[in-house]
Amino acid sequence: MRYENLLVDVSERIATVTINRPKSLNALNPATVRELGAAMEELAARPDVGAVLLTGAGEKAFIAGADLTVMKGFTTMEALDFSLLGQRVLGFIEAMAQPVIGAVNGFALGGGCEVAMACDLLIAADTARFGQPEVNLGIIPGYGGTQRLPRLVGRNLAKELVLTGEMISAQRAYEIGLVNKVVPAAELMGAAREIAGKILSRGPVAVRTAKMAMNRGLDLDLGNACALEASLFAAGFSTSDREEGIAAFLEKRKANFTGK
């Protein structure tokens, strides 16, 4: 598909999706969110895509938030539709089989922070800034920020960020467990591709089922979550990848996984 607000490139089984509205600091409007959903659905169905990198165009912003020039005129029902649209798209990103790595190159605020939190891993430039500043506008996060943030960093830190609306640095985001790694801005995409490459070298079926186990298990009590893990662990023994992986380890050679 052709997109007006996104750039999509696939190379060496890694898809790079770039929110491409640099003049508005990549702010999210309904059209951009719909395109993001369509792009992710397309990539999820492609057998030549094993991982996805998500970033923003330009040097200033990953996604600076929602497009307030559009939001200011919302009715109550339009606001509800916009919130539910974003939640559906971010839910899909979180649940899609391929790992999604956010390469946060600048401001990740409001909806941008929420998009980042839907990714499986986050690599941030040292110039990046994170925050949920919606209370400064008299509203609350609408794309899952009040729910994903406490699950990622804990209740009290999440409340501090949401209730004060203050921004934090990339280093602080790393310290509280919001991002996985902070690198110089010039090294961001290389670092993101490096970790994607590591994931792609592992067993594809195992990567997919491990992601599913962690995502679904978080909403279960520990006993049921471990039962889910056990069933997925056992299912792995029906795959060719399991045979190849164990044989390669015992024979001290590189595994040749087929994803079957």
Q: Which residue in the list 4, 59, 134, 194 is annotated as catalytic?
A: 134
**Type of residue found at 7:** L
The residue assigned the tokens 């996060």 is 141
Told to judge if 166 belongs to the known catalytic residues of this protein, a careful annotator would answer no
Distance in angstroms (rounded) separating the CA atoms of residues 131 and 161:
7
Q: Give yes or no: 12 in active site.
A: no
How would you write 55-72 as a 3-class SS string?
EECCCCEEECCECHHHHC
Report DSSP state, residue 5.
S
d(Cα 75, Cα 250) in Å, to the nearest integer?
63
Which three-class secondary structure state does DSSP give residue 176?
coil
CA dist 36 → 131, 153, 160, 185 (Å): 21, 26, 29, 24
Q: What is the DSSP string of 104-115?
A: E-SEEETHHHHH
Spatial CA neighbour of 188 closest among 100, 123, 114: 123
Q: DSSP readout, 85-97?
A: HHHHHHHHHHHSS
Strand ordering across the sheet containing 181-183: 6-11, 14-19, 51-56, 100-104, 121-125, 181-183
Choose, from 59, 114, 160, 194, the residue flagged as catalytic. Answer: 114
Which residue's structure tokens are 């599913």?
Answer: 212
Q: Which residue has the tokens 């990103």?
A: 93
Catalytic residues: 114, 134
